Amino acid sequence: MQDKIRERKRRRGRSSLTDRTILGPAIAGSFKKLDPRLMARNPVMFVVEVGSVITTIIFTVDLFNGTAGLSGPNNNLFVGQVSLWLWFTVLFANFAEAMAEGRGKAQAAALRKTRSETIARRLVDGREERVASTQLKKGDIVVCEAGDIVPGDGDVIEGIASIDESAITGESAPVIREAGGDRSAVTGGTKVLSDRIVVQITANPGQTFLDRMIGLVESASRRKTPNEIALNLLLAALTIIFMFATVTLQPFAIYAGTSVTITVLIALLVCLIPTTIGGLLSAIGIAGIDRLLQRNVVAMSGRAVEAAGDVDTLLLDKTGTITYGNRQASDFIPAPGIAIGRLIEAAELASLADETPEGKSIVALARRLGSNNVSAGQKDMVFVPFSAGTRMSGVDLDGRSIRKGADDAMGRWSGKQVPAEITESVATIGRSGGTPLVVGENQTILGTIHLKDIVKPGIRERFAELRRMGLRTVMITGDNPLTAAAIAKESGVDDFLAQATPEKKLELIKNEQSAGHMIAMTGDGTNDAPALAQADVAVAMNTGTQAAKEAGNLIDLDSDPTKLIEIVEAGKQMLITRGALTTFSIANDVAKYFAIIPAIFFAAFPELKALNIMRLHSPNSAVLSAVIFNAIIIVILIPLALRGVRYRPVGAATLLRNNLLIYGVGGIIAPFAGIKLIDLLLTAVHLTA
């Protein structure tokens, strides 16, 4: 199992462009994808393929019939080269898609190893029978003991066990799974390390979590996302528009007393239609899903990734996302006349045996503030555990009786009026959202410990960043409104929902959505499921229940609620990459026109050389340079398509300006330079007349 993890980490670490295990199959895949039935799904590249076939036929016929055939006198070498580069254009586009799929497949292969056939111990009427895991159906009951592989996705209905989930998550620390509650879900392929559990299977064969995951990354079951469909429509429409421009050119040329060869017309058409984005579009989509997978997030559909880019409101659970999730001591406030050192020492002693996170944090804070470092091993210490009756805990030693507890309980314990200053500080702490703990020794109140929810460092900056991205954050918490407001203020969230219940959560989502907002949230419990199902982007934690996972459209294998932010970034990055390459592709047309149009009519109308602003060597070299540029640019942009355009949270206006400058203006200028360069090279090696 450990090598599998290393294997996966190795794959993730390496750039796939240089990875031979991906490169080889991708090259083979580029040729397999030439199948017209597959190509027809991509209208832009299908047109290029048809063009390649036609030019190949012209080239072949002329090769046998002599030079003065279809391609025009002494032009066979030119037609051959155009044809070759058109094929390359198609192959490069196929290669991009195959590369993207290859990266997913590599991960799927790693996953598939864990799905190796296991034997399930199915319980039928209390009897145990052995069946292949693939025969398990929804509702079957199976038994797993230490050393067994869990045969399928399911819920623990009996027992508790520690489970190694590294096959799915890459995380080697075992997790606890038990019947009932929010930690009952087990995933097929994971290994039981200790104890015995009874599991009810919740997925039919072929529909398990692992199956869906493999299907997705392999893109076999990948469906086009709404935005991808819209973009495809635009590209198809542009293709038709440019077909009109190209096809009608022949009659116009005939009227002008000249004519255009079919090869040149096809070259012009291929250069004008948006082949760059047409060739890279599906690779961008697959890479988007794959990029998330590299961050250990499984997208259940491409649609979810796309929606993540659109999200404008994040619902974040306070615990675990915004705060560390448990109260920690942050301050000691002594009563009047009491030295602070005495309070700290007493607080530490009272908490030595307190195994709760709060207790540990008191000891830690005391030591940070320089207490005597007493240890629990000292003799004569009698620890008094917390009880619901006394609502206090503490220690007795050397005749000292030290206690800590809620202020009212401590007041009763001391038998005296609690000093006004203490009451005051208790109230202040309460108002600020913290929890006060009063410490006393031998019926004397020494002071107060301020326990509070510690906001994770850096989260404030993160929220500021989100605001710049145009995202609003709403904190969800079960705390009372006072506490919630305090944490909200400290962490910098835009809004909060206090005393949240599943119903209130669902209602909040519905309200936000009816105001036009797109909501993303994370969740793990069964009671999160309705809200997860309602949210536009719902990230279920892998540690969560089966119900939560079913309701989510993304699953975070690391179960890290802050991942939501990365998911949104990944979604935006995917959309930006599409937009950038579309803009680039269309902007490229300007230069290609100036390369090809003068070339076409130069022979008939030498005056048109004025339009040859790039001063290209000859009509043939001009056309060929444009075609070669058009093909090569796809290869050059593959890394960008797979990696995605870098996303920086700078706000829409700046983002648009920067990207328009790079991909729009750059898209107009780059091909002028590129085509000229190729023309110089072609001329230098005498590949064109």
Partner 1 sequence: MVLDIVGVVITWIAVAIGAWLLGVYMFKVFSGNRTLLSPVLRPVERACYWAMGVKEEAEQTWIQYTVSVLIVSVVSFLFTYVILRLQDKLPLNPMGFAGVPADLAFNTSVSFTTNTNWQNYTGEATMSYLSQMLALVLHNFLSAAVGVAMAIALFRGISSRSLKTLGNFYVDATRATLYVLLPLSVLIAFILVSQGVVQSIGPYVVAHTVEGANQLIAVGPFASQEAIKDLGNNGGGPFNANSAHPFENPNGLTNQFELFLELLIPFALCVTFGKMVGSIRQGLAIAAAMGILLVAFTAISMYSEQVGNPALTAAGVNQAATSTQAGGNMEGKEVRFGPIYSGMFEATTTGTSTGSVNSGHDSFTPIGGMVALVQMQLGEVDPGGIGAGIYFMLVFVVLSVFIAGLMVGRTPEYLGKKIESKEVRLAALAVLIDVASILGFTAVSVLSPAGLAGPLNAGAHGFSEILYAFSSQTANNGSAFAGLTGNTIYYNITGGAAMWIGRFLEVIPILALAGALAGKKVVPAGAGTFATDRPLFVGLLIGVVLIVGALTFFPALTLGPILEQLQLAAGHLH
- Candidate residues 24, 36, 251, 458; the one interacting with partner 1 per rule CB under 8 A: 251
**Nearest residue (CB) to partner 1, 247 versus 673:** 247
Q: Which is nearer to partner 1, 655 or 675 (CB)?
A: 655
Distance between CA atoms of residues 168 and 146, nearest Å: 18
Among 139, 180, 226, 336, binds partner 1 (CB under 8 A): 226
Q: Cα–Cα distance between 331 and 448 in angstroms, integer?
A: 8
- Region from 134-142, 221-229, 327-335, 439-447 binding partner 1, contact rule CB under 8 A: 221-229
How many residues are recorded in the chain?
A: 689
Nearer to partner 1, 231 or 459 (CB): 231
Rule CB under 8 A: is residue 31 a binding residue for partner 1?
no
List binders of partner 1 among 123-182 (CB under 8 A).
none
Sign of the Cα torsion 109, 647, 534, 485 reads positive
- Asked if residue 318 lies in contact with residue 485, where contact means CB atoms within 8 angstroms, the answer is no
Q: Which is nearer to partner 1, 93 or 305 (CB)?
A: 305
**CB-nearer residue toward partner 1: 431 or 657:** 657
**Residue 420 identity (one-letter amino acid):** A
Shortest distance, position 318 Cβ to partner 1, whole Å: 23
Q: Does 242 bind partner 1 (CB under 8 A)?
A: yes
One-letter identity of residue 577:
T
Among 590, 603, 613, 636, interactor with partner 1 by CB under 8 A: 590
Contact positions with partner 1 (CB under 8 A) in 568-587? 571-573, 575-576, 578-580, 582-583, 586-587
- Pick from 220, 256, 427, 464 the residue near partner 1 by CB under 8 A: 256
Site size toward partner 1 (CB under 8 A) is 75
Cβ proximity to partner 1, 403 vs 472, nearer residue: 472
Instruction: Check binding of 517 to partner 1 (CB under 8 A).
Output: yes
Q: Is the backbone of residue 442 left (phi > 0), alpha (psi -120 to 50) or beta?
A: left
- Which residue number, 206 or 257, has a Cβ lying nearer to partner 1? 257
Q: Applying CB under 8 A, which of residues 125, 244, 368, 457 lies at the interface with partner 1?
A: 244
Residue among 72, 102, 151, 309 that touches partner 1 (CB under 8 A):
309
Site for partner 1 in 609-628 (CB under 8 A): 610-611
Alpha carbon separation from 180 to 156, 163, 175, 628 (Å, rounded): 7, 16, 15, 63
- DSSP for 428-479 reads HHHHTT-EEEEEEETTEEEEEEEEEEEEPTTHHHHHHHHHHHT-EEEEE-SS
Catalytic residue among 317, 354, 407, 524: 317
d(CA 674, CA 633): 9
Q: Does 431 bind partner 1 (CB under 8 A)?
A: no
Hey, which residues between 645 and 674 contact partner 1 (CB under 8 A)? 647, 651-653, 655-657, 659-660, 663-664
What does the alpha-carbon distance between residue 472 and residue 464 come to, in Å, rounded to a whole number?
10
Rule CB under 8 A: choose which of 127, 516, 615, 684 binds partner 1.
516
Give the separation between CA 406 and CA 440, rounded to whole angstroms: 11
Torsional sign, CA 608, 609, 611, 612: positive
In the bound state with partner 1, the residue whose beta carbon lies nearer, of 383 and 593, is 593
In Å, what is the CA distance from 201 to each residue of 46, 169, 678?
A: 45, 20, 62
Structure tokens given for 182: 């929010």
Which of the stretches 58-66, 86-94, 514-522, 537-545 binds partner 1 when contact is defined by CB under 8 A? 514-522
> What span, in angstroms and rounded, lies between the C-alpha atoms of 96 and 279?
7
Residue of the chain from 157, 229, 382, 677 that contacts partner 1 (CB under 8 A): 229
User: In the range 265-284, which residues lie near partner 1 by CB under 8 A?
Assistant: 268, 272
Residues β-bridged to residue 445 = 440
Instruction: Provide the minimum distance between the beta carbon of 451 and partner 1 in the complex, in angstroms, as a whole number.
Output: 36
Residue 32 near residue 195, CB atoms below 8 Å:
no
Quick one: tokens of 686? 């005498």
The two three-digit tokens of residue 683, written as one number:
């001329």
Listed ranges 34-42, 110-118, 230-238, 453-461: which one lies at the site for partner 1 (CB under 8 A):
230-238
How many other CB atoms are there within 10 angstroms of residue 7's CB atom? Answer: 14
- Which CB atom, from 275 or from 582, has the smaller least distance to partner 1? 582
Q: How far apart are CA 37 and CA 666, in angstroms?
A: 35
Rounded to an integer, what distance in angstroms lies between the CA atom of residue 267 and that of residue 48? 9
For partner 1, give the closer residue by CB, 183 or 572.
Answer: 572
Binding mask 591-610 for partner 1 (x = CB under 8 A): --x---xx-xx---x-xx-x
Task: Choose between 241 and 482: whose C-beta lies nearer to partner 1.
Answer: 241
Burial class (CB in 10 A: 0-12, 13-18, 19+), 416: exposed
247 binds partner 1 (CB under 8 A): yes
For 180, left (φ over 0), alpha (ψ -120 to 50), or beta? Answer: left
Contacts of 436 (CB under 8 A, 6+ apart): 406, 407, 425, 426, 429, 430, 448, 449, 450, 451
227 binds partner 1 (CB under 8 A): yes
Does 314 sit near partner 1 (CB under 8 A)? no
Closest by alpha carbon to 366, among 348, 352, 341?
348
- CB closer to partner 1 out of 42 and 477: 42
Q: Which stretch binds partner 1 (CB under 8 A): 424-432, 553-561, 567-575, 623-631?
A: 567-575
> Closest approach of Cβ 630 to partner 1, in Å?
15
Residue numbers 518-537 binding partner 1 by CB under 8 A: 518
Asked if 508 interacts with partner 1 (CB under 8 A), we say: no
CB of 470 to partner 1, least distance (A): 2
The piece of 210-218, 238-246, 536-544, 622-630 that touches partner 1 (CB under 8 A) is: 238-246
Q: Return the residues of window 438-467 that contact partner 1 according to CB under 8 A.
A: 467
We find the least distance from the C-beta atom of residue 32 to partner 1, in angstroms, to be 29
Compute the least distance from the CB of residue 279 to partner 1, in Å.
17
Residue 396: active-site member: no
For residue 585, give the nearest of 271, 288, 225 by alpha carbon. 271
C-alpha separations of 410 from 391, 429, 467 in Å: 9, 16, 45
Q: Is residue 254 close enough to count as binding partner 1 by CB under 8 A?
A: yes
Among 194, 248, 356, 443, binds partner 1 (CB under 8 A): 248
- Annotated active-site positions, please? 317
